[in-house]
Amino acid sequence: MARRKIVWSSKAKVDLLKILEYFYIRNGSKTYSIKLNSKIRKAVRLLSNHPFLGLQSDVENVRALVEGDYAIFYQVDKETIRFTTIWDCRQNPDNLTTPK
């Protein structure tokens, strides 16, 4: 199976930046944010070779890979993996919006 191209939606990019910024402000240091970003990027690279590793969500064609406290939601097609959102699982699940 060939590697699929990784595509980040603008929402997923913003979600990741907000998470990293939160920890930078909270901790007063970039150390944890750098570690967390590395863990998330490693999980994303793993998906490029194993796209169906994540759990099927309630929404058709949307899967979620859990990395620590975060669920990385994505859609798979023949050539790409499109990341739609990153969700901190410690939040109220009623606030979660995923593409339909």
Identify whether 71 is part of a domain. yes
Supply the range of the domain harboring residue 53.
5-90
Identify whether 100 is part of a domain. no
Residue 51 has pLDDT above 60, yes or no: yes
Tens of pLDDT, residue by residue over 12-35, are 999 999 999 999 999 999 999 999
Domain tally for the chain? 1
Identify whether 30 is part of a domain. yes
Of 8, 14, 15, the closest CA to residue 74 belongs to 8
Identify whether 28 is part of a domain. yes
Helix (H) or strand (E) holding 76: strand 70-76
Q: How confident is the model at residue 90, as a pLDDT?
A: 80
Where residue 42 sits, what CATH number does that domain have?
3.30.2310.20
